[in-house]
């Protein structure tokens, strides 16, 4: 049976014992978040995720959303789940207290986000994209706009969207056509946007669209893009809801997965909108939202992988088939070595991915008061997003494989996780975009300075970690390999202009597996400390086994990806187009 049980204990271990090194409260902004408080928050979140949101997942996929005359109909249970989530104050956790938020660091709310995404991935986009919209409005909007809209967004009375993509402009926003014409104290927005997640629904009182558009005198390219707040329903002078704005959902997309999520084509016909930030600075404003959403997609990847893993474990324990070398009677398939390989692969990778997401979020939190953390947060973001979303494809595929033929049919639910997961490598910038961002802006752009600092920090921490000498040797070899590859790129990218683009995927994956090895060492060190300080030996021994397995089985991929990079771009770029 496909039931979801939020792994609160694993989340607490990742956040407090690995990221926080059992001293989370010593960091600025974390003083009030001790173990007892966090357990209370996460246990409450676990209840709403597992008991109220998760039961909507199957019908969300089976029934999906539909549209008629511009109105979107959602599956049963969605409205009740949304109301319960809002009434519980869950959207407010990490939002500005001046506008009704609770002001917690994003790291504290990330486990809650993971639970909600695992419970129903389609439904969760409604509330979690709103969080990203809130960040953009809070960071860049005028005081007047914040006063009008931010409290309603934070409370969940209003929800938010991100409107970037157009039919002729996918990831290349430089050819965007949507226009914004000044009209007194507002602008008239005209154009069409596609792939707008939850662009239309009736679950909230209003929908606030953040729309990229061009002013009439804007320069060409991305430097001429501005950001606008465009409400579905206009506000009266007394702040009550007024007349409907001139925008509508034209259709909803029929997708491979996330059937329970309304992905809309939106039409704006001289819709009333308000400028956010400065003219022609829209992309910079939107990146506040996008970077937040990119870490969010990495968290989604952990969530779907966890949901798939839980179902696979339950199936493997129940499914009786075949014998093993040590049994005379038929056994549950979890006893077969290859099934154990698959399950431990899933468990090991998920635990590393979870810490990576929390660590990246933690660096973002620290950066708010300590600017020296900004570069580290920026460096980790494309690694976290790309690596976690790519591994999510493998993990959900493995879950289907464990189910065998029963995984390939829809009844078990394993296929849904596989289908839903596919969007994560595309959302908020594809893996290729993340990889190019890492190798171009974040690595070559500063001549490898921040990357070198990270590698040196990993090297120092490995030396002081509580892992055996063989593991230290393997990790040091991986670090040495990454340093050599980094030097190779910096020394050759000008002579071989195609080198960065041709090696970017291998580079981001190499760094993902290396950072994963660092995290595995931290997991083992934290788990050994836990063994000494508590009597929960089963839990901590399992952490040591799964992280040791990661170092044995996946750290060697650092060398493999590195070797591919050092072959350069010649074979990739020399094939004539007509031969493809």
**Residue from 480, 485, 564 nearest 517 by CA:** 480
How many CA atoms, within 13 angstroms, populate the side-chain half-sphere of residue 140? 26
In the annotation, is 428 catalytic?
Answer: yes
> Contact 112/91 with Cβ under 8 angstroms?
no
545, two tokens: 């086994």
β-strands 158-163, 71-73: how paired?
unpaired
Tokens 């007349």 correspond to: 243
Distance from C-alpha of 43 to C-alpha of 19, rounded to nearest angstrom: 20
Write phi, then psi, for 139 (nearest 5 degrees).
Answer: -80, -30
Distance from C-alpha of 325 to C-alpha of 334, rounded to nearest angstrom: 14
Distance from C-alpha of 509 to C-alpha of 113, rounded to nearest angstrom: 25
Residues 6+ apart with CB under 8 A from 188: 180, 181, 270, 271, 272, 273
Write phi, then psi, for 243 (nearest 5 degrees).
Answer: -85, 160
Cβ-based neighbour number of residue 579 at 10 Å: 5
**Residue from 554, 448, 535 nearest 493 by CA:** 448
Distance from C-alpha of 62 to C-alpha of 110, rounded to nearest angstrom: 28
Distance from C-alpha of 303 to C-alpha of 290, rounded to nearest angstrom: 19
Cβ-based neighbour number of residue 520 at 10 Å: 29
| Distance separating the N- and C-terminal Cα atoms of the chain | 45
> Contact 543/351 with Cβ under 8 angstroms?
yes
Coil vs helix vs strand at 163? strand
Distance from C-alpha of 75 to C-alpha of 306, rounded to nearest angstrom: 24
DSSP state of 92: G
Distance from C-alpha of 316 to C-alpha of 86, rounded to nearest angstrom: 37
278, two tokens: 């400065």
Coil vs helix vs strand at 151? helix
Residues 6+ apart with CB under 8 A from 211: 163, 178, 189, 193, 227, 228, 229, 230, 268, 273
Write phi, then psi, for 195 (nearest 5 degrees).
Answer: 60, 40
Out of 428, 450, 470, 578, the active site residue is 428
What positions carry a catalytic annotation?
428
């Amino acid at each position: 049976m496909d039931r979801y049980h939020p792994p609160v204990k694993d989340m607490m271990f990742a956040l407090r014992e690995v990221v926080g090194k059992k001293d989370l409260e010593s960091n600025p902004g974390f003083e009030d978040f001790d173990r007892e408080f966090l357990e209370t928050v996460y246990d409450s979140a676990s209840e709403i995720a597992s008991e109220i949101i998760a039961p909507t997942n199957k019908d969300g996929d089976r029934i999906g959303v539909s549209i008629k005359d511009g109105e979107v109909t959602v599956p049963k249970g969605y409205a009740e789940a949304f109301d319960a989530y809002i009434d519980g104050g869950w959207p407010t956790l990490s939002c500005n207290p001046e506008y009704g938020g609770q002001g917690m660091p994003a790291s504290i709310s990330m486990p809650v986000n993971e639970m909600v995404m695992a419970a129903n991935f389609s439904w969760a986009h409604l509330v979690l994209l709103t969080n990203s919209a809130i960040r953009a409005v809070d960071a860049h909007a005028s005081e007047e706009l914040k006063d009008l809209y931010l409290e309603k967004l934070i409370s969940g009375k209003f929800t938010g969207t991100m409107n970037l993509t157009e039919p002729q402009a996918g990831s290349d926003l430089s050819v965007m056509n949507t226009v914004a014409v000044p009209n007194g104290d507002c602008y008239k927005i005209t154009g069409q946007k596609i792939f707008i997640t939850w662009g239309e629904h009736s679950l909230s009182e209003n929908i606030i669209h953040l729309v990229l558009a061009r002013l009439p005198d804007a320069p060409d390219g991305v430097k001429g893009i501005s950001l606008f707040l465009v409400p579905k329903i206009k506000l009266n002078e007394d702040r009550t809801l007024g007349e409907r704005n001139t925008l509508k959902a034209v259709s909803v997309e029929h997708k491979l997965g996330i059937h329970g999520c309304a992905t809309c084509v939106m039409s704006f016909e001289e819709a009333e909108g308000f400028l956010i930030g400065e003219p022609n600075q829209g992309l910079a404003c939107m990146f506040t939202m996008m970077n937040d959403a990119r870490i969010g997609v990495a968290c989604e990847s952990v969530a779907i992988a966890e949901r798939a893993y839980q179902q696979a474990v339950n199936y493997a324990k129940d499914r009786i088939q075949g014998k093993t070398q040590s049994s005379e009677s038929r056994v549950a398939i979890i006893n077969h070595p290859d099934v154990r390989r698959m399950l431990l692969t899933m468990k090991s990778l998920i635990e590393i991915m979870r810490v990576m997401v929390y660590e990246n979020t933690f660096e973002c939190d620290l950066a708010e008061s300590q600017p020296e953390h900004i570069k580290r947060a920026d460096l980790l973001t494309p690694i976290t997003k790309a690596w976690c979303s790519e591994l999510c494809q493998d993990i959900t595929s493995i879950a289907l494989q464990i189910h065998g033929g029963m995984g390939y049919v829809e009844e078990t639910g394993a296929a849904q996780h596989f289908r839903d997961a596919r969007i994560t490598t595309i959302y908020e910038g594809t893996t290729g975009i993340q990889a190019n961002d890492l190798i171009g802006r974040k690595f070559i752009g500063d001549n490898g300075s921040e990357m070198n600092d990270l590698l040196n920090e990993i090297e120092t921490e490995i030396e002081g970690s509580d892992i055996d000498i063989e593991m230290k040797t393997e990790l040091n070899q991986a670090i040495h390999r990454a340093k050599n590859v980094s030097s190779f790129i910096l020394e050759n990218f000008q002579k071989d202009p195609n080198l960065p683009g041709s090696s970017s995927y291998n580079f981001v994956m190499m760094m993902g597996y290396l950072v994963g090895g660092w995290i595995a060492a931290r997991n083992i060190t934290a788990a050994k400390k836990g063994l000494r300080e508590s009597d929960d030996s089963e839990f901590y021994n399992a952490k040591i086994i799964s992280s040791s397995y990661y170092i044995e089985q996946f750290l060697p991929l650092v060398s493999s990806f590195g070797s591919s990079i050092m072959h350069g771009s010649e074979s990739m770029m020399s094939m004539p187009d007509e031969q493809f």
